[in-house]
Structure 1
């Protein structure tokens, strides 16, 4: 029989000593950074000695002595870390009785059936929970267990910060001040507790509560959605699958897991704005009538496409893509183009995948040269083309939607010879031109021949022309040295100290033949390079 719906006010001491609290799998991991912990500490320390203090709402579900924390995890876990730090400081100054009291009321409980001493708060993720319990047991954790950016690292950082603040706070009267803190947490720190009787409804409560105040991340909401729509007997396995997939992105330096999910949804749905991703999957608001993406199928898709997607991020990884495809991924990364990944995924499943990807790369480069690839309309085209390929099974059917990106040779040459581009694009285009390949190795470093300073030493190329021609292809060279050498503030210095260090494939002899370097020289070189680039790309 479910317990009746219950709401009450109680102290933290009374609440924590009354039950065992588990963080359910749909919850986010411990996420507080130093700024949140610092704010939390300041709020509590300013309230110390001022009477009762209200900490906010805690939402629980479950019956008996084991409760699931639907909302309030971050505060309860941080309070546990504060209690552990208090216990450590009490032991350090010889207040053993106070340390034991903190241990029994806030940190540990006894299982009366077995006499086992069990933790009062248990986290879902086993590694993060091991960190929490180690901090409670000994006040420390091996540094080897603290992966950068992980929840374990955040737990440890929070504990270290709180213990440092406590140590500073009681250095003049430690015996009394630690007792004041323990009394405040146990008897003066209040929360409003709302207990929901229905375990299954906790997922919905979690969403409702967390759409107010500090927002959940899209990843938190999506994880909750998937687990809520997974049969209870399969949730642990689905939780593990979610986290094992998310960890792959953490290992690559925090690459966006949510972007990956959106790209996978693009394969089914076409273009979905980042802000609409959760509402689309959950069929909320304007998306109430869209076709359902079953949670199990979404997780299957996330795992199915993961190996090749990770190679798109890091082409050095092993996986299903062949050498030609990896070269294309590397080129797109150099150009900083990630919006095309759903289309590449759709193409990768086809027999002529690498050749079709090369067609897409050529379209992208031509679009970047002639127009602008950054607009959302282009990303929309990629997503719609990906969906069309998945729907029809035909690459040609999808690529037909991209024909307006496929500019003519004349348009390409005319734009490339005169337009300014950022350094990454210029370096890529120049490499591809002189190496005669659409997937050039990242050889050499791009340098501007006429730099953006020292106008007086370039009498034939004043600042009035620099804005027009300084960042065009004709004013660049690829050299074997990363740093611009000294003595290159005029044309003679460039010939002696920069062109002489150009990579072997460069147009060094042609450049050395110029008696001086002028805007006309840049235009002439730019046109020659544009024609050579068109031979590669058009």
Structure 2
């Protein structure tokens, strides 16, 4: 590997040729703090040449370079130069604006205008809305990367306006409108321009693209903002050869995968997906060791990268339903599946994700019946309700590895007998870890909800929904449209009744929003019971008995609900 390193200023680098952000690079990701800190460092620095680190590129044909390291800084510098150019234009200094613009866009050997810095992922927003001298400001999608570019550019423009006010300038001869004691805006703008162009970095040039992939991993392995998904993308795209000069199938396949997570928008979710997918199909590992495991697998056979990318794309669509079940379409028969997945999200648990992914995948591959899928998810929901939502057990990691080993076995299972044996083994294992009822009851009785104490609201609503049931008179009950009502009103606390009694789950029930807000209000217990009876409300089911004794019966009812929920499912 041949590496050449030289100290260069930005103006020298941007005169060398054209720089392309390659497909294995992550998108622009700087936030406000990083942009403002970079701006402040440049503006406040008094030295002639301010050093901003290194830049690593490779060149496969002149005068085009691919950027390996330094993309975030170079993109931000391009935003700065574009903002300075625009300020010169507002001051009527067209020649000065064109002088800056030559570091943003230059004619190539065919005398066709070409941007010095180019990126496919943010096309055409970066090019038209920021880099162009007279952009048309065409309508284009503003995704995650484009929004970050927009935010960064607006921050830079605002900070530049603070340094050199130009917003009231008209074209031609505006200098006189500034007071005598205010610095000449054109000179000030030139000073900022020169500071940006004189920024110095170590320019490191590699021989070829293969070396670039290796250096990318080495340089970024300990970077604070690099994620596993960045490394995996780089790895896969370096292994899968481009089959056509115009069509990069691997890149499009990766982009298709990422688009499935657009609503999620967080890189952490994609990293979680990669981990849960891997431990559901290959072998158990941790997030810190995931990339090493994938790298080893991909290196074993040249076909593995392609196969892995295909599997990731298939699994990503299923995983999206798993992490946000309420945002996806389900058939009426699959309603229970959706509700179990929603419950697991409510419990804020992830250990089971490898198993739920494997179960859903087996179902969509028609290796697992809907009946068995619903039964498995109902048991997983029950286990984590007891284990996590109520008793707050800490997992030593054994549960995650148990899920992973069974998920891998399920992924490879073909026949129904094998699948049933794997499922039976899983729940036999979980049964040994289920907390005893006595511990469950103690924690359950601590559940409390008041208008000023809402921490347990979601779990309490879940408990009451499960105890209440899903149907009444043959009609499905929409629990999302129901709210929590205090049987003994919160207003009684003013008379000295304990908040432990009023807030207890034993004093709560679910009613529809209208009844809660308009009809029950601060009625007495007997008045509320009578009102609900008149509406045909299933009191016996909700109250665990026909009547509700006053405060003395709150804990008894809470215990009855606890017993019902704990005994509702057998692992």
**TM > 0.5:** yes
Match of 2:461 in 1: 427
Alpha-carbon deviation of 1:212? 4.2
Matched, 1:267 2:280: yes
Match of 1:364 in 2: 380
Superposed, 1:132-531 pairs within 5 Å as 132-137=127-132, 145=140, 147=142, 150-171=144-165, 172=182, 173-186=184-197, 188-233=198-243, 236-252=248-264, 254=266, 256-283=269-296, 294-315=304-325, 322-336=331-345, 337-347=349-359, 348=363, 349-372=365-388, 375=395, 376-393=397-414, 394-399=418-423, 400-406=425-431, 415=440, 419=444, 420-421=446-447, 422-435=456-469, 441-443=478-480, 444-449=482-487, 455=493, 457=495, 459=497, 462=498, 470-472=503-505, 474-481=506-513, 493=524, 496=527, 500=531, 504-507=537-540, 513-518=547-552, 521-530=553-562
In structure 2, the CA distance between the partners of 1:431 and 1:169, relative to structure 1 (3 Å rule), is: same
Alpha-carbon deviation of 1:26? 0.5
SS of 1:249's partner is coil
Distance in 1 (alpha carbons) for counterparts of 2:229 and 2:433:
42
Match of 1:87 in 2: 85
SS of 2:273's partner is helix
Distance in 1 (alpha carbons) for counterparts of 2:545 and 2:17:
79
Distance in 1 (alpha carbons) for counterparts of 2:114 and 2:58:
20
Distance in 2 (alpha carbons) for counterparts of 1:206 and 1:484:
59
Does the aligned pair in 2 maintain the 1:85–1:162 contact within 8 Å?
yes
Alpha-carbon deviation of 1:24? 0.6
Distance in 2 (alpha carbons) for counterparts of 1:209 and 1:396:
47
Alpha-carbon deviation of 1:478? 0.6
SS of 2:289's partner is helix
Distance in 1 (alpha carbons) for counterparts of 2:438 and 2:378:
14
SS of 2:66's partner is strand
In structure 2, the CA distance between the partners of 1:408 and 1:157, relative to structure 1 (3 Å rule), is: closer
Distance in 1 (alpha carbons) for counterparts of 2:378 and 2:394:
16
Q: Normalising by structure 2, what TM-score?
A: 0.79
Matched, 1:118 2:131: no
Alpha-carbon deviation of 1:253? 5.3
In structure 2, the CA distance between the partners of 1:370 and 1:74, relative to structure 1 (3 Å rule), is: closer
Does the aligned pair in 2 maintain the 1:369–1:416 contact within 8 Å?
no
Distance in 2 (alpha carbons) for counterparts of 1:503 and 1:27:
62
Does the aligned pair in 1 maintain the 2:83–2:157 contact within 8 Å?
yes
Distance in 2 (alpha carbons) for counterparts of 1:410 and 1:151:
46
Per-residue CA deviations over 1:37-59 (Å, capped at 9, x if unaligned) read 11110011101x53211111000
Alpha-carbon deviation of 1:233? 3.0
SS of 2:398's partner is helix
Distance in 2 (alpha carbons) for counterparts of 1:269 and 1:453:
57
Distance in 1 (alpha carbons) for counterparts of 2:189 and 2:305:
49
Does the aligned pair in 2 maintain the 1:221–1:278 contact within 8 Å?
yes
Alpha-carbon deviation of 1:123? 0.5
Q: Normalising by structure 1, what TM-score?
A: 0.84
Does the aligned pair in 2 maintain the 1:479–1:499 contact within 8 Å?
no
Match of 1:14 in 2: 12
Distance in 2 (alpha carbons) for counterparts of 1:163 and 1:94:
17
How many residues in Structure 1 have an aligned counterpart in Structure 2? 516
Distance in 2 (alpha carbons) for counterparts of 1:425 and 1:509:
18
Per-residue CA deviations over 1:70-99 (Å, capped at 9, x if unaligned) read 000011111011001010000110111211
Distance in 2 (alpha carbons) for counterparts of 1:220 and 1:408:
37
Distance in 1 (alpha carbons) for counterparts of 2:465 and 2:235:
46
Which among 37, 45, 56 is matched to residue 53 of structure 2?
A: 56
Does the aligned pair in 2 maintain the 1:413–1:530 contact within 8 Å?
no
Q: CA RMSD in A?
A: 3.7
Unpaired stretches in structure 2, ≥5 consecutive residues: 166-181, 448-455
Distance in 2 (alpha carbons) for counterparts of 1:278 and 1:494:
60
Match of 1:76 in 2: 74
Alpha-carbon deviation of 1:107? 0.7
Unpaired stretches in structure 1, ≥5 consecutive residues: none
Alpha-carbon deviation of 1:18? 1.2
SS of 1:233's partner is coil
Distance in 2 (alpha carbons) for counterparts of 1:73 and 1:312:
34
